[in-house]
Amino acid sequence: MGLRDRFNQFSGKNRFVVCRLFVHLSGKEVAPLLGVLNQAARDAVDSEGDMQTLGEGLVEICQSLLQYQTYWQSASNEGDVFWSEGEAGDYVNELFTDSAQRYMSAPELTDAPGEDLALPVTRNLVVMITIASEGEVPDLETDLASVSALGTGLKALINLHYQERLRAVQVHFSPASLGEELTSDQLLEFFPELIPL
């Protein structure tokens, strides 16, 4: 624990962790994940950002990602620690804006037409999860660019929901709907931070 951490602990200030995870999956079998992601996005919009609903969506997404571990190709994470809720909120907004500007990462909230079955299926999917939480989260405050660390990090996200420690949850994904393609070149261009697992 650093000097500032100890000082803030004595002064009773709250510690906030803000982090963003990138998970890149590859294989035509990952297409069903788009359904899980879009459903969570719809539920988040319908609930007008209710934290309980956002947390439940996050749990569903993390459990799905863990089930699809075979298809993980690369990952990355970043984050910071804050002693001010306002500063933590500003950083969350900064990461949100950055994630939203990535290639085709806005969720498709309209009901998909039936002819989607004939659309090409993307082989690449990148999921970006940004959270803010209170307290320490050692399993997220570390390098997650290995299969075991990433698995542990996703489980930590699930636990944060059940411990009611989440203060913000945002999920972006690219491509955002069936029929859109994320090519290998676009992966390199829009997600340069990804590290092979």
Q: How far is CA 42 from CA 92, 155, 178, in A?
A: 20, 23, 15
- pLDDT 10s digits, 27-39: 988 888 988 999 9
Instruction: In whole angstroms, give the CA distance from residue 112 to residue 99.
Output: 23
The encoded tokens of residue 60 equal 């569903």
- Supply the mean pLDDT for the chain: 87
Instruction: Identify the three-state secondary structure at position 74.
Output: strand
**pLDDT score recorded for residue 112:** 46
- Degrees, nearest 5: CA angle 180-186-187: 100
pLDDT (average), residues 3-26: 77
**pLDDT score recorded for residue 126:** 95
Q: Let me know: does 171 contact 137? Beta carbons within 8 Å.
A: no
- pLDDT 10s digits, 119-169: 566 789 999 999 999 999 999 999 999 999 999 999 999 999 999 999 999
For residue 196, list its beta bridge partners. 74
**pLDDT score recorded for residue 161:** 97
- pLDDT 10s digits, 161-194: 999 999 999 999 998 877 788 888 999 999 999 9
Phi-psi region of 104 (alpha: psi -120 to 50; beta: other; left: phi over 0): left
**pLDDT score recorded for residue 103:** 78
pLDDT (average), residues 85-96: 95
The encoded tokens of residue 13 equal 């200030």
- Degrees, nearest 5: CA angle 138-95-80: 30
Residue tagged 């190709």 (tokens): 73
Instruction: In whole angstroms, give the CA distance from residue 176 to residue 95.
Output: 18
- Whether 110 shows a pLDDT value over 70: the answer reads no
**pLDDT score recorded for residue 113:** 44
pTM above 0.75, yes or no: yes
Torsion on CA atoms 148, 154, 160, 161, rounded to nearest 10: -150
Instruction: In whole angstroms, give the CA distance from residue 82 to residue 11.
Output: 14
- The helices-and-strands tally (H runs, E runs) of the chain is 6, 5
